[in-house]
A and B are shown apart, each in its own frame.
Chain A
Amino acid sequence: MTPIQGVFLITAAAILWSAYMVVTRDNLIHSALYLIITLFGVAVLFVLLEAGFLAVVQVLVYIGAIAILMIFAVMLTRGDVDKLEQVSIANSGFVAMISILFFSTLILLMGQWPAFSSTAPELEAGRDTVVELGTALVSPKGYVIPFEVASVLLLAALIGALYVARPQGKGK
């Protein structure tokens, strides 16, 4: 068991445990805090996969923006603090069986793929994936069109979220 494998196993255990806590806690703020642990674990996985830029962007975007947005949304949409509201549905055992079935089907199907247990090829040293990624995202022979479409999508989301969530009563 090399140290890298040990790190991976600890990270994987942390991710799966905190993901389980996200979907089972009744206190939604606890759910959001466990979601932060899961997102950080995924960032560690990105570092293990030699995608350092993606790891930093994961922390910046998911933990720094999306998780905080979730916590705000939970706090703003809490009903009466005393009334216990139901967060999960009644018979979630059936759903648990469905998702376990889904997981086993995925693993079975993937296990029959010959390259399932391949090992990582060596990356040549001195290669700067950040520069390659940046060039690919803006070069016409690369991925500039998805990049621009994503920018327009973000602009639409910005305007849409502002319009939908603005306080009412202005036009009355």
Chain B
Amino acid sequence: MIPLSWYLVLSAALFSIGFYGVLSRKNSVAILMGLELMLNAVNVNIVAFWRFLAPENIAGQAFAVIVFAVAAAEVAVGLALVISIYRRQKTVAADEIDLMKW
């Protein structure tokens, strides 16, 4: 069968790729995509731990459901902010949105 290590390595790799995406992209929407990858990796991790170590306790799946809700809320507000910034500054490059610096 599939040992736990395979799932953990996969979710660590997915998290690192998302991490690279967040740090190496200028476009704000691309940064949010990297963030989504990280959230998915965390979800896979939670559910893998639930299945392998404590399947009788449904807390693992409940936690994952809450993570879904939080991720959806965060993406909605984040993209609303990005669109609002685009309307004002006509750019979404993260290094050009420095309104608070003089």
Mark A residues whose CB is within 8 Å of B: 2, 4-5, 8, 12, 15-16, 19-20, 22-23, 28, 31-32, 35, 38-39, 42, 45-46, 48-51, 53-54, 57-58, 61-62, 65-66, 69-70, 72-74, 76-77, 79, 85-89, 92, 95-96, 98-100, 102-103, 106-107, 110-111, 115-121, 123, 129, 132-133, 136-137, 142-143, 146-147, 150-151, 153-154, 156-158, 160-162, 164-165, 168
> Beyond A116-B5, A156-B73: 5 further Cβ-contacts under 8 Å?
A35-B36, A54-B43, A110-B8, A153-B69, A153-B70
Known: A129-B58, A136-B62. A66 touches B18 (CB 8 A): no
A162 to B80, CA, bound (A): 8
Chain A: which residue is nearest B75 at the CB level? A66
Mark B residues whose CB is within 8 Å of A: 1-10, 12-21, 23-30, 32-34, 36-37, 40, 43-44, 47-48, 50-53, 55, 58-59, 61-62, 64-66, 68-77, 79-84, 86-87, 90-93
A164 to B81, CA, bound (A): 6
Quick check: B17 and A20 within 8 Å, CB to CB?
Answer: yes
Majority secondary structure, A binding face: helix
Quick check: A54 and B61 within 8 Å, CB to CB?
Answer: yes
Can you name 18 A-B residue pairings with CB atoms under 8 Å? A5-B1, A8-B2, A12-B6, A35-B33, A49-B48, A61-B71, A62-B40, A70-B36, A73-B32, A89-B24, A98-B20, A99-B17, A102-B16, A102-B19, A106-B12, A119-B3, A136-B58, A143-B62
A79 proximity list for chain B (CB < 8 A): 90-91
B44 proximity list for chain A (CB < 8 A): 42, 45-46
Shortest beta-carbon distance from A166 to chain B in Å: 9
Shortest beta-carbon distance from A150 to chain B in Å: 4
B87 proximity list for chain A (CB < 8 A): 168
Quick check: A116 and B25 within 8 Å, CB to CB?
Answer: no
Quick check: B24 and A107 within 8 Å, CB to CB?
Answer: no
Known: A53-B61, A120-B51. A115 touches B33 (CB 8 A): no
Chain B: which residue is nearest A2 at the CB level? B1
